[in-house]
Structure formats: C-alpha cells, structure tokens
Amino acid sequence: MEVDIPEPRFFRTVTHLQSSTHCISFKDMRKLLESLVSLTHLELSDTEKWINRGLLKTACSIPSLRSLDLHYNSVVNIAQKLPNCSQITKLDLFSNRISNLSSHSIQSMKQLRYLDLAEVLDLSRNTLKNLDFLAQANLTSLRCLKLCENELTVIDHHIFQFLPALTYLDLSVNPLTCDCSNSGFLLWALSSDQTQIVNVDQYVCTYPLSERGTMFVDVDVHSCWMDASFLCYISTTGLVLLTLLTAFGHHFLHWRLDEAWVHGEMLPALEDERGWRLCLHHRDFQPGRSIMENITEAIYGSRKTICVISRHYLESEWCSREIQMARAVLPRDRACRDQRHNIMKTNCLFVFCSQK
C-alpha cells in the first residue's frame, strides 16, 4: 500500500504516532519519521520486519523522541536492533520474544525511567531467566520496571543497587524458587522503603515441588541466615581449637622429651653422683610468685648455672629471658666472663632451663 506523504511542514507539530506494517510501507514510514521533528511518542506494533531493516535507527535520530513503544513484536535479538537512543525516557518491550538482554543494548539510555519487559512470551522456552543485563546498564534514572510473566526463578537482589531511582517493580507470575537462594530478595522486598514491589504478597512458589503453592512471603528465610551464621561459628571455632590443640601437642611433646632427658640422665649424674642441688621449676619454684620472680630468685640464689641448649630451648621465650638474665650477672666475675664456655668454672653463676 502506497501513501503519499505531504510536505514535511504539515508534520512539524505532530507529537504522537501509532503505526503498524498493515497501513504503510517501510519506505513511506521512514520518510514519515524523518519529517516528524516534534515527535515525542512513537508506537510500533507488529513491525518486526521494519525493525529488522533498521527503522529504529531512523526513529532514534529524532531529538524530541522520549517514549518508544515496541509491544507485540517478535524481536529476538533486540540488543542488535536498538541503536543509540540516549534521549529515551520510556521503553516498552511488552510481549516480545526476548530471551536475553545485554547491558550494552540499553546502556546508552541514561535518561530511561520506564522499562517494560512484561509478558515475554516464547513457546520454545526462550524467555528471560535472569536480570544480569541490568548490572552494567547504567540506568540511574529508571523508576518503573515490569518483569511479569517471565521465567525468573531466582532474583539477585544486588542487581537493584544499580537502579538507585527505582520506585516500582513488577515481578508477578514468575516461577519463583522458595528456598535460601531467594532469601536475600525476599528480605529486600519486605524491607525496601523506596521500591514498591507490586503484589509481592500474592507471589506463589513454584520450586521446589514440596513448596509449590506456598505463598512466597511465607517462606522462612531467617533459618537460612541462622544456618549460615551457625556454620560459620562452628567452622571458625573448630579451626581455632584445632590450631591450639596442634600447637599445644607440638610444644608439650617437645617439652616432655627434654624433661625426660633431664630427669633420666642429667639429674642422677649431678645430684646423686656429684652431690649438687639443682633448682627445678616444678620442684623449687614458689607457688603464688610470678615466673620472672622465681627465675630471678633462682639465678641469684645459685652458685652455678647449667644451660641445656636444645632447639626447643632456643625457641622458648621464657628460656631466652633466663639466659639473658644469667648473662647480666656473669660480668660480675671477670674470670667467669672470660671463660663462660666452661660451665664448670668456679664462682660462675649458671641457671638451668628445661622447659619450653
């Protein structure tokens, strides 16, 4: 069907246009759009053939255009059909065969306030299943978002942080999963002061089968958070206890090995055979006094100090303090200081340390 397009001056004041492929040809439609310099609202229904031929490029070149209604079009790859429409504030994609949207397809529409993706019908199960395209779309002005009758099962509530102006959200008639995977979205939906989630109290569970027919808002999501916190507490506590037990067992084993050598070999040789009196911490330290006080008293109250050097001794903080204190006393005796490698030298003061 051919239509004669009058002079462009006759269309300068036209602001709204509704059209379909049934009343005009593609060539005439493109010519008509080029003459509509004041157009603000454009509705193109059942025009997938035009869209596939690039009509949207012509439409989006109209500076005054603010609303673009593309409902009832079987446009699958809409991301490749939407050109740079940065001036658009309302985009209606109602009842299209959209299976996926990339963030790049609507990223340039920074002024977009209304996005309608409702009733995305696809008999081949080729419908929207996630909202990932919103993450980097930069829709800072978007206020109204309709996503009803899609195939959304799990809603990532973190997506909505990228829509700071969102006040209206419709997710009706989606096959929602009622388990912990949707706990974050449910808590957000019930607590959000800015965004109105339309009829959220009427959402019905679809998955799992045991919850089918249950109201979405009746799902006990608090148990999800308590379980996670409890598991985190148990795992953290278990890890700390395991670390402490491992360290204690390691140190206790080494201390027992050193102590067994002292009591089994060294003690009989020095006390029984030579008649010396050793100062041992478990036997001679006074209860109620600090470790440092007992160490200091043992050093100044002994004529000799025998230092048993082992790898465990060198790793011990208390044994390190003992040897430092003993070395501070040694310079009082010149002969002992000059020959301190000889532990049997007369008048030298030595301290024995057997515990780590």
Distance CA 52, CA 89 (A): 23
Predicted confidence (pLDDT) at residue 286 exceeds the cutoff of 70: yes
35 pLDDT above the threshold of 60: yes
Tokens of 2: 């051919």
Q: Cis bond leading into 331, ω under 30°? A: no
> For residue 130, what are the CA distances in angstroms to 24, 59, 102, 106, 127?
37, 29, 11, 16, 9
Vertex 278 angle, CA 274 and 280, to 5°: 150
Domains located in the chain, CATH noted = 66-220 (3.80.10.10), 244-338 (3.40.50.10140)
End-to-end C-alpha distance for the chain, whole angstroms: 100
CA distance 253 to 7: 101
Torsion angle of the four alpha carbons 243, 248, 254, 257, in this order, in degrees rounded to the nearest 10: -140
pLDDT of 283 higher than 50: yes
| pLDDT tens digits, one per residue of 235-262 | 777 777 777 666 555 554 455 556 777 7
Query: Which residue is it, tokens 């903080």?
Result: 317
CB 172 within 8 A of CB 198: yes
Residue 349 CB contacts under 8 Å (≥ 6 apart), including other chains: 299, 300, 302, 303, 304, 305, 326, 329, 330, 333, 336
What is the average pLDDT value for the chain, to the nearest integer? 75
**Range with lowest mean pLDDT among 35-39, 78-82, 207-211:** 78-82
Average pLDDT for residues 319-332, to the nearest whole number? 62
List, for residues 117-142, the tens digit of each pLDDT value: 654 333 334 478 888 888 877 788 88
- pLDDT class of 92 with cuts at 50, 70, 90: confident
Per-residue model confidence (pLDDT) at position 192: 92
What mean pLDDT comes out for the span 95-120? 68
